[in-house]
C-alpha cells in the first residue's frame, strides 16, 4: 500500500452514506420547475371532472335533474348515484370497515358532500355545468356536536345502519355510535384512583383540523377498453393499497390496474384514503372511454377530504402527595363525521391511542374511546403523526402540567420524577406496549441545561410579580413537553389494513458497472426518500449514494408495500433496504472469496470492499464484484446481483423528545409571541441530519399552526366556516418562530440500522409544548386549562374570564 491509497474514512466519506448531510437528489428537478405532479399530466383526449356538492349539512335528496347541465356545450357525461348503482359503485368500503357514499344516495350527510360528477372537455365547461345541476333537497335536523351524538333524540345520521346493531368493531350502543374501544386494566385503575392522594380531571379537546398539503388531492384515470386495463395516476401516499382496494371494489383484476403516484406536493395524512373523486374519475373514464382528470380545489380539500383529530378527552391522573403518578384514566368521544373513513390499522379503531400513558411510569392505566357519527366530513387521518398518537401525546402532556400545578411542583421536575428510567428499557407500559429503547432523563436534562431552565423560571417569577404590581400587561409562559411516539406500523401480528399485513419492502438491483436501482413500497411526499434510502445502501453496500436510483410509486414495478404515513418509511422500508443489501452483500462475499481463492470466512468487510484478513492489499471492491456477478460467478451460483426483502418489523419503534417553549402573552390583545422554541429529538440512528432537521422545522411549524390557530369549525346548521385559506390558519414566514434543534441518539435495538423515524415527532411533541406554554402563562392566575387553538380571540377570552380586563 502506498500513501496515496485513500483511508477507510476517506472512502467512507465519498460514499455519502448514513450520517452524511447529503444534498437532496429531488431538488435538482424541483428547483427548476421540472417536478412531475398529477396536475401536470396532460393526456390526449383528456376530460375534466368536477363535483356538484351539497350546500346542506343534512338533507334528503328529493330529486336530481341533470338535463340543463348535460346540455352545456362540452359536457360529455353527468354521473349520479343512480348511474353508479348500475356498476355497483354508489357506495365504497372505507379503510375502517364502514361504507361511504361515493355520490349522494337518498341523503346528504355533511356540507359539500359529493352529489354529482360532471365530465367535460374543459375544466371551465365542467364548472359551468356543475352550476346547472338542479338538486331538490329537504333539509333535516343537523348535529355537529359529538357530545350530543348519542342523545336519545339526536338526528339519525346513518339510516343505512339503522337495523345494524353490530359495527366493524363490535356492538353499537346507539344509532349514531360507531365503536367502543378500550385498553388497559379498568378494575386496577379504578382501585388506584379510589385510594389516590391527589387526582386531577380535565376535559381536553383536540379540535378538528386538516392536514392541508399545498397540493390538493387529485387524479387522472384512464381506462383502456380494448385491453381492459385501468391506469390511475394520483396523489397517493399508499399506491399499492389503492390498487388492491380499487380491484376489490371495481372487480377489475389487480394485474390490470396500474396505479402511479408521481411527485406529491405534501401529504401529511390527507392522501392516504380513497375519495369519491377517484371513483368517479374511474367510472367516468370507463363510461366515456377517455382519460378523466379530477383536481380538488382548496375549499373541497379543506371541507371534504380527510380531516384529522376531533378527539374530546375526559382525562384523569392520580398521584401520591410527593408527586409519583399512580394511575391514569381517559374517556374519549371521537367524532368521525358522517362515515367512518378514518385511516388506521384495521384492528385499531382508535389507532395507537393507548400510547397515552406517554413517557411516564404509570403502574396502571385505562382508556375507553367511543366513536360517533355527526353531520361533518368523514376522515380521522393521522395529520403528521402516527395513528391518533398526537391526540394521546397532547392529552397526557397537558394533564401532567395540570397535575404538577395541583401538586405545586415544577412541571419539568414532576416529569423527571415520573419518566421511565433508562434501566427499565425495554419497558412494557400499563397498556402493554413494549417501548424499544430510551434514555429519557439524559434528553430532559440536556434540554433543561441548554435553555437554562432555572433562569427562565426565575425570570418568569419576576415577571409575574411585575404583572401583579401592574407594571406590565404581558405574562410569560414556559411550555415543557416530553413525548414518546409509537411509529413504524407495524408488526403484522398487530397491524393490517383490510387484511393486508403492514409490512414493507425494498428490491435492489445492482447493475454490472456498480450502480443500481432500489424500488420500494413506500412513497415520498417531500421526505426526501430518493436521497436517504440511497444513503442506507451506500453504507451497507459500499457503493456511492449518487450511483443508486430510488424509485417509488409505480405498482407495476415497485414491490408490494403499504405506503408512507405514520413515520413508517424508515422503520419498515428502511429496514427492508438494509436487509436486502445484506443479501446482496452475502452473495458478493462468496464471489469475492471465489475470485481471491480464499474461504468466505477469511474475508472482512472494509467500507466498500471485501479484503483478506491479515492481508488488506488483497481485496475486491463492491464495484468489481458487481461486474464479476455478471461474468464470473462461482460454479453453480446464479448470475446477477439483486435482492428483495419484505420486512415485517418485530415491534414498533418509539422515538422520543424533550421540547421547551417560551412565550409572552399580551393579556389585552390575546397575542402570543413565541420567544424561543427548543426541540431535542431522539430518532435513533440518524441517516441524514440535514433532512432530519428540515423535517423537524416543518413538523414544528405545523404544530405551531395547530396549537395557535387551526380549526375546522362548523356552525350549528352544519356549515363549515373555515374552508378556505382566508379562514384556516397556515403560518406564514412572519409568524413562524425560529427553531432550535438538538438531539440525542438511542438506537432501536430491533431495527437493522437502529433508526426509528422522525417526520412526525415534532408535530406530536410540538402541539402540547405550545399549548403548555400558553397555559403556563396563565397558571399563576388560577387557570388550569385553556382549549386550543390559542389564537388571539380565545386567549383574550381566557384573560377576560380571569378578570384581567377590569
Contact footprint for other proteins (CB under 8 A): 23-24, 26-35, 37, 39-40, 42, 123-124, 212-216, 263-266, 268, 295, 297-298, 525-528, 690-691, 693-695, 697-702, 724-726, 730, 732-734, 736, 738-740
Cβ(359)–Cβ(420) below 8 Å: yes
Residue 365 neighbours by CB distance under 10 Å: 28
| Inter-axis angle of helices 761-779 and 792-801, nearest 10 | 30
Helix (H) or strand (E) holding 529: helix 529-541
Minimum separation from the CB atom of position 267 to other proteins (A): 8
Residue with Cβ nearer other proteins (30 or 203)? 30
Minimum separation from the CB atom of position 737 to other proteins (A): 9
Cα separation, 447 vs 660, whole angstroms: 7
Minimum separation from the CB atom of position 420 to other proteins (A): 30
Unique residue bearing C-alpha cell 421547551: 660
Minimum separation from the CB atom of position 693 to other proteins (A): 8
Residue with Cβ nearer other proteins (442 or 736)? 736
The DSSP bridge partners found for residue 51 are 117
User: Annotated catalytic, 384?
Assistant: yes
Cα dihedral 634, 637, 642, 646 in deg (nearest 10): -140
Cα separation, 223 vs 291, whole angstroms: 7
Residue with Cβ nearer other proteins (616 or 689)? 689
Cα diameter, the chain: 91
Minimum separation from the CB atom of position 266 to other proteins (A): 4
Minimum separation from the CB atom of position 79 to other proteins (A): 24
Cα separation, 604 vs 589, whole angstroms: 9
The residue from 385, 495, 518, 683 that is catalytic is: 385
Q: DSSP characters for 310-358?
A: EEEEEEEEEE-TTS-EEEEEEEEEEE-TTS----S-TT-TTTTGGGGGT
Q: Is 754 left (phi over 0), alpha (psi -120 to 50) or beta?
A: left
Buried b (16+ CB within 10 A) or exposed e, 402-423: bbbbebebbbbebbbbbbbeee
Cβ(718)–Cβ(110) below 8 Å: yes
The closest alpha carbon to 657, from 757, 774, 771, belongs to 757
Residue with Cβ nearer other proteins (237 or 429)? 237
Residue with Cβ nearer other proteins (526 or 657)? 526
Minimum separation from the CB atom of position 243 to other proteins (A): 23
User: Annotated catalytic, 385?
Assistant: yes
Residue with Cβ nearer other proteins (631 or 738)? 738
The residue from 158, 219, 760, 769 that is catalytic is: 760
Residue with Cβ nearer other proteins (83 or 217)? 217
The residue from 237, 405, 525, 695 that is catalytic is: 237
Between the CA of residue 365 and those of 177, 411, 423, 436, 486, what are the distances in Å? 24, 21, 21, 20, 17
Residue with Cβ nearer other proteins (162 or 738)? 738
Cβ(360)–Cβ(418) below 8 Å: yes
Minimum separation from the CB atom of position 767 to other proteins (A): 14
Residue with Cβ nearer other proteins (47 or 399)? 47
User: Annotated catalytic, 760?
Assistant: yes
Unique residue bearing C-alpha cell 364502514: 98
Residue 693 neighbours by CB distance under 10 Å: 19
Minimum separation from the CB atom of position 733 to other proteins (A): 4
Residues in the chain: 806
Compute the radius of gyration of the chain from its Cα atoms: 28
Minimum separation from the CB atom of position 24 to other proteins (A): 7
Specify the DSSP class assigned to residue 267: -
Residue 723 neighbours by CB distance under 10 Å: 22
Between the CA of residue 647 and those of 240, 241, 559, 662, 728, what are the distances in Å? 16, 17, 11, 42, 39
Q: Is 137 left (phi over 0), alpha (psi -120 to 50) or beta?
A: beta
The contacts of residue 791 (CB under 8 Å, 6+ apart) are 670, 708, 709, 729
Cα separation, 579 vs 285, whole angstroms: 41
The residue from 53, 243, 329, 384 that is catalytic is: 384
Residue with Cβ nearer other proteins (23 or 173)? 23
What are the catalytic residues? 237, 384-385, 760
Amino acid at each position: 500500500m502506498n500513501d496515496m491509497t485513500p483511508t477507510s474514512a476517506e472512502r467512507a466519506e465519498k460514499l455519502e452514506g448514513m450520517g452524511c448531510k447529503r444534498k437532496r437528489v429531488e431538488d435538482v428537478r424541483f428547483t427548476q420547475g421540472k417536478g412531475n405532479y398529477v396536475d401536470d399530466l396532460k393526456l390526449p383526449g383528456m376530460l375534466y371532472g368536477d363535483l356538484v356538492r351539497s350546500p346542506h349539512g343534512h338533507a334528503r335528496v328529493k330529486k336530481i335533474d341533470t338535463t340543463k347541465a348535460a346540455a352545456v356545450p362540452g359536457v360529455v357525461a353527468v354521473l349520479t348515484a343512480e348511474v353508479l348503482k348500475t356498476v355497483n359503485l354508489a357506495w365504497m368500503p372505507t379503510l375502517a370497515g364502514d361504507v361511504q357514499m361515493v355520490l349522494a344516495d337518498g341523503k346528504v350527510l355533511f356540507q359539500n358532500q359529493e352529489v354529482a360528477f360532471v365530465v367535460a372537455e374543459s375544466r371551465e365547461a365542467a364548472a359551468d355545468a356543475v352550476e346547472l345541476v338542479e338538486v331538490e333537497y329537504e333539509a333535516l335536523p343537523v348535529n355537529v356536536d359529538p357530545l350530543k351524538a348519542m342523545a336519545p333524540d339526536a338526528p339519525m345520521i346513518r339510516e343505512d345502519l339503522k337495523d345494524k346493531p353490530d359495527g366493524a368493531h363490535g356492538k353499537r350502543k346507539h344509532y349514531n355510535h360507531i365503536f367502543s374501544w378500550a385498553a388497559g386494566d379498568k378494575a386496577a385503575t379504578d382501585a388506584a384512583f379510589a385510594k389516590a392522594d391527589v387526582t386531577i380531571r380535565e376535559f381536553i379537546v383536540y379540535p378538528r383540523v386538516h392536514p392541508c398539503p399545498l397540493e390538493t388531492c387529485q387524479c387522472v384515470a384512464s381506462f383502456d377498453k380494448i385491453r381492459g386495463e385501468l391506469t390511475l395516476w394520483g396523489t397517493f401516499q399508499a399506491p399499492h393499497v389503492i390498487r388492491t382496494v380499487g380491484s376489490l371494489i371495481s372487480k377489475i383484476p389487480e394485474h390490470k390496474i396500474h396505479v402511479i403516484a408521481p411527485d406529491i406536493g405534501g401529504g401529511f395524512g390527507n392522501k392516504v384514503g380513497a375519495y369519491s373523486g377517484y371513483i368517479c374519475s374511474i367510472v367516468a373514464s370507463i363510461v366515456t372511454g377517455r382519460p378523466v382528470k379530477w383536481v380538488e380545489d382548496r375549499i373541497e380539500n379543506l371541507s371534504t377530504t380527510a380531516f384529522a383529530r376531533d378527539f374530546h378527552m375526559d382525562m384523569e391522573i392520580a398521584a401520591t402527595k410527593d408527586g409519583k403518578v399512580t394511575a391514569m384514566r381517559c374517556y374519549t368521544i371521537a367524532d368521525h363525521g358522517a362515515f367512518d373513513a378514518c385511516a388506521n390499522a384495521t384492528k385499531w379503531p382508535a389507532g395507537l391511542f393507548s400510547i397515552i400513558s406517554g413517557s411516564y411510569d404509570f403502574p396502571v392505566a385505562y382508556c375507553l374511546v367511543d366513536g360517533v357519527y355527526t353531520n361533518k366530513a368523514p376522515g380521522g387521518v393521522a395529520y403528521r403523526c402516527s395513528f391518533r398518537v398526537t391526540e394521546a401525546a397532547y392529552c397526557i402532556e397537558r394533564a401532567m402540567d395540570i397535575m404538577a400545578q395541583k401538586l405545586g411542583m415544577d412541571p419539568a421536575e414532576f416529569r423527571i420524577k415520573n419518566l421511565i428510567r433508562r434501566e427499565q428499557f425495554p419497558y412494557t407500559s400499563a397498556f402493554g406496549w413494549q417501548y424499544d429503547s430510551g434514555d429519557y432523563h439524559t434528553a430532559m436534562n440536556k434540554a433543561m441545561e441548554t435553555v437554562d431552565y432555572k433562569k427562565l423560571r426565575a425570570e418568569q417569577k419576576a415577571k409575574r410579580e411585575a404583572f401583579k404590581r401592574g407594571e406590565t400587561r404581558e405574562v410569560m409562559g414556559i411550555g415543557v413537553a416530553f413525548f414518546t411516539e409509537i411509529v413504524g406500523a407495524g408488526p403484522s401480528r398487530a397491524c393490517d389494513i383490510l387484511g393486508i399485513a403492514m409490512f414493507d419492502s425494498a428490491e435492489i438491483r445492482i447493475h454490472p458497472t456498480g450502480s443500481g436501482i432500489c424500488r420500494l413500497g413506500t412513497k415520498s411526499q417531500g421526505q426526501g426518500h430518493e436521497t436517504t434510502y440511497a444513503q442506507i445502501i451506500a453504507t451497507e453496500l459500499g457503493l456511492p449514494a449518487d450511483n443508486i436510483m430510488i424509485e417509488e410509486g409505480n405498482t407495476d414495478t415497485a414491490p408490494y408495500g403499504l405506503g408512507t404515513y405514520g413515520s413508517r418509511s424508515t422503520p419498515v422500508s428502511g429496514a427492508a433496504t438494509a436487509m436486502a443489501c445484506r443479501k446482496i452483500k452475502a452473495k458478493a462475499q462468496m464471489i469475492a472469496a471465489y475470485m481471491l481463492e480464499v474461504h468466505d470466512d477469511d474475508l472482512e468487510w472494509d467500507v466498500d470492499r471485501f479484503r483478506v484478513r491479515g492481508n488488506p492489499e488483497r481485496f475486491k471492491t463492491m464495484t468489481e464484484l458487481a461486474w464479476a456477478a455478471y461474468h464470473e460467478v462461482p460454479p453453480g451460483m446464479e448470475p446477477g446481483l439483486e435482492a428483495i426483502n419484505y420486512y415485517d418489523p418485530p415491534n414498533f419503534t418509539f422515538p422520543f423528545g424533550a421540547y421547551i417553549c417560551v412565550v409572552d402573552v399580551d393579556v389585552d390583545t390575546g397575542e402570543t409571541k413565541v420567544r424561543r422554541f427548543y426541540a431535542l429529538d431522539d430518532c435513533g440512528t440518524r441517516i441524514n441530519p440535514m433532512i432530519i432537521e428540515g423535517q423537524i422545522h416543518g413538523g414544528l411549524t405545523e404544530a405551531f399552526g395547530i396549537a395557535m390557530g387551526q380549526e375546522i369549525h362548523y356552525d350549528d346548521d352544519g356549515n363549515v366556516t373555515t374552508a378556505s385559506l382566508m379562514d384556516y390558519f397556515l403560518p406564514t414566514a412572519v409568524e413562524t418562530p425560529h427553531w432550535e434543534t438538538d438531539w440525542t441518539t438511542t438506537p432501536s435495538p430491533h431495527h437493522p440500522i437502529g433508526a426509528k423515524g422522525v417526520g412526525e415527532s415534532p408535530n406530536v411533541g410540538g402541539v402540547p409544548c405550545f399549548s403548555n406554554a400558553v397555559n403556563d402563562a396563565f397558571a399563576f392566575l388560577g387557570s388550569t386549562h385553556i382549549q386550543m387553538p390559542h389564537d388571539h380571540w380565545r386567549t383574550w377570552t381566557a384573560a377576560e374570564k380571569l378578570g384581567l380586563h377590569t
